Structure 1
Amino acid sequence: MFENFHNLATQFWPQTVDGLIKGSIYGLVALGYTMVYGVLRLINFAHSEIFMIGTMASLAVLTGLGVVAPATGVGLIGLLILMAVVSMAASGGAAVLLEQIAYRPLRKRGSSRLAALISAIGASLFLMEFFALVVIPWLFDRPGQGKNIIGVKRFLARDEAFSIGDVVVRNDQLLVFLAAVMMMILLDLLVNRTKMGRGIRATAQDPQTAVLMGVNIDRIVRLTFLIGGAMAGIAGMLYLLEYEVTKFNVGFLLGIKAFTAAVLGGIGNIRGALLGGFVLGLVENYGAAFFGTAWLDVVAFVILVLVLLFRPTGILGESLQVARA
């Protein structure tokens, strides 16, 4: 036991930095879960594959441009912006298509939430296998290798941004963290300060009254999926930048952890999604330092069970349904 505490103490600050980076990606993906749940009361389990599509879109940009070495200067900025735009467009478009095909027909028929949940699980499995068998072999010229891990050549040189004592924070880590915080702030402003956001909040609070007030529910739902998908897309690009690897099922486990982050922060709460991501990333890493890396996933799902048992509304609690208009 003493050795466990010693390991945690010696690794505390490096694990803190890594936990915040991991939590940034969890939080961005969790924003998609929380947006859809806040408006439709639907847990979109296919959102993990929307994240996967974001990683594939970024990889397609790198492959198409023939990037084989770290970019610098204006070229690097242009590359990152292009990857972000393409990933957000691909994931956002896929999320909108998913809503129209898998969820909207059920919603129009007044089907139960269980039916929508089963549809989400089916869509998740379909997207994973479709990409493994069709998209990846065709897009990246990898016949018969669609289920293999795809490595990515480093396109951003990893240099020291600053240091705190003995802890070094790299430029890629700083970029991931700042991008996550910036996207959360922009989304929070969109929902709380714009006419479009008022429509989203009105639909979340009372769809029937929102219709009477002239809100187009279908448009709001489509917009919600688009925004949530775009957040998963930027998370996919940042994941590729940080971990330099992807796979057809890269979003499966990460998606479950992002859902855990959304529940931990308060599902339906935009600020809570990012906060939950940070907390989950930190606790995961601290647990791995204390118990060993083999326990990393166990720690994450124990947190989910404990939150559901003792504080099912999450840390911040308030959701779109009860947010002030």
Structure 2
Amino acid sequence: MSDSIYYFIQQIANGLTIGSTYALIAIGYTMVYGIIGMINFAHGEVYMIGTYISFIVLAGLTMLGFDNVFIMVGLAMMVSIMIASAYGFTIEKVAYKPLRSSKRLIALISAIGMSIFLQNYIRLAQGSRDIAMPSLIQGGFLLGDPDGSHILISYMQVIIIVTTIICMAGLTLFISRSRMGRACRASAQDIGMTNLLGINSNNVIATTFIIGASLAAVAGTLLGMYYGVVNPYVGFIAGLKAFTAAVLGGIGSIPGAMLGGLLLGVSESLTAGYFTAEYKDVVAFSLLILILLFMPQGILGKPEVEKI
């Protein structure tokens, strides 16, 4: 293969890695919107908190002398999921539940206020400087000529993609096969009717926030280890990117969030690879503008039909 083909495949692999984490975060946006019709703009901060928690756990285990990387990462991810889920549950109870019957703009302002609060809370608790974590998982697969054109797929990239696939498969099974998953689907169709049928919508909504926070924590652990750095502001950009991915795929659609995250990641990687990394955010938000202009329902979303 020519140098250009190797380079193109490398950028696609990098894009799928980043896009996988965008998809995990975007599912939190799309599930909340699909059920209560609101955007949880504090979701990016839950991702950021999950990253901090995993860093703290990994640092603690390293100080205690643990040397099994996979056990360390697994424990860090489990603790991150539990704490991030608690934050997601609390955000729903504090910022959303009291305002469900209010106008959407009020709930939106409440979510933005919660986002700012969490951002500054972490800044005061952990400081505003970047926190670095040494790379625990090194090495990878080399395809091609080591001294010439080649493709390098790191073990960390493989772990990110495989973990994302497992999470997506688990979520799909949960939504399609479990009792609570069916309740989530029913609530997304008509939450008023589900209440009349005896389904506790409060439990469904709380479960939705917990699932979204758990997936954001997984993304935070994976992406934090991939980049090796975290600060109180990483959730803002990651949240905007994930929201863009959710809108791109069709907000309210779980497959759409997955597809939107992958497309966004690949477009960013190709832009950074063939032009400059400074333009990747421009491309991401340009895609959002184009989708809103020409396909406001997203790629896999369904247009809303108003009954009169």
Relative to the length of structure 1, the TM-score reads: 0.87
| 8 A Cα contact 2:58 2:73, kept in partner | no
1:29 match: 25
Count residues with an aligned counterpart: 300
Q: Does 1:92 align with 2:85?
A: yes
Pair 162,289 (structure 1): closer, same or farther in 2 beyond 3 Å: closer
Q: Does 1:58 align with 2:46?
A: no
Relative to the length of structure 2, the TM-score reads: 0.92
> What are the within-5 Å matches in structure 2 for residues 286-305 of structure 1?
286-305=270-289
1:159 to 139, 158, 177: 139
Displacement of 1:317 after TM fit? 1.6
Displacement of 1:126 after TM fit? 0.7
| 8 A Cα contact 1:8 1:289, kept in partner | no
Of 76-85 and 250-259, the range deviating more from structure 2 = 76-85
| 8 A Cα contact 2:23 2:261, kept in partner | yes
| 8 A Cα contact 2:19 2:265, kept in partner | yes
> What are the within-5 Å matches in structure 2 for residues 46-195 of structure 1?
46-66=42-62, 71=67, 75-107=68-100, 110-133=101-124, 135-136=125-126, 146-156=127-137, 158-161=138-141, 163=143, 166-195=150-179
Q: Mind listing any 5+ residue stretches in structure 1 that lack a counterpart?
A: 1-5, 137-145
| 8 A Cα contact 1:149 1:246, kept in partner | yes
User: Secondary structure, in 3 states, of the residue corresponding to 1:168?
Assistant: strand
Displacement of 1:62 after TM fit? 1.3
1:232 match: 216
CA distance in 2, matches of 1:49, 1:267: 19
| 8 A Cα contact 2:7 2:151, kept in partner | no
| 8 A Cα contact 1:92 1:227, kept in partner | yes
Displacement of 1:290 after TM fit? 3.0
CA distance in 2, matches of 1:262, 1:67: 39
CA deviation profile, 1:227-282 (whole Å, cap 9, x unmatched): 00000000000011211100011111111011111111111111211111111010
In structure 2, give the amino acid aligned to 1:122: G
CA distance in 2, matches of 1:164, 1:91: 41
Of 114-123 and 307-316, the range deviating more from structure 2 = 307-316
| 8 A Cα contact 2:66 2:72, kept in partner | no
CA distance in 2, matches of 1:23, 1:14: 14
Displacement of 1:291 after TM fit? 2.8
Of 21-30 and 9-18, the range deviating more from structure 2 = 9-18
Displacement of 1:70 after TM fit? 9.6
In structure 1, give the amino acid aligned to 2:23: G
| 8 A Cα contact 1:69 1:153, kept in partner | no
In structure 2, give the amino acid aligned to 1:228: G
2:262 match: 278
CA distance in 2, matches of 1:111, 1:274: 30
CA distance in 2, matches of 1:106, 1:286: 42
> What are the within-5 Å matches in structure 2 for residues 195-210 of structure 1?
195-210=179-194
CA deviation profile, 1:25-69 (whole Å, cap 9, x unmatched): 111100111111111111111000000010011011012223599
Displacement of 1:76 after TM fit? 2.1
CA deviation profile, 1:204-228 (whole Å, cap 9, x unmatched): 1111110111100111111000000
In structure 2, give the amino acid aligned to 1:125: I
CA distance in 1, matches of 2:4, 2:38: 38
CA deviation profile, 1:124-179 (whole Å, cap 9, x unmatched): 0110001101x21xxxxxxxxx11111112222x2224636721211110000111
In structure 2, give the amino acid aligned to 1:89: M
| 8 A Cα contact 1:68 1:153, kept in partner | no
User: Secondary structure, in 3 states, of the residue corresponding to 1:66?
Assistant: helix
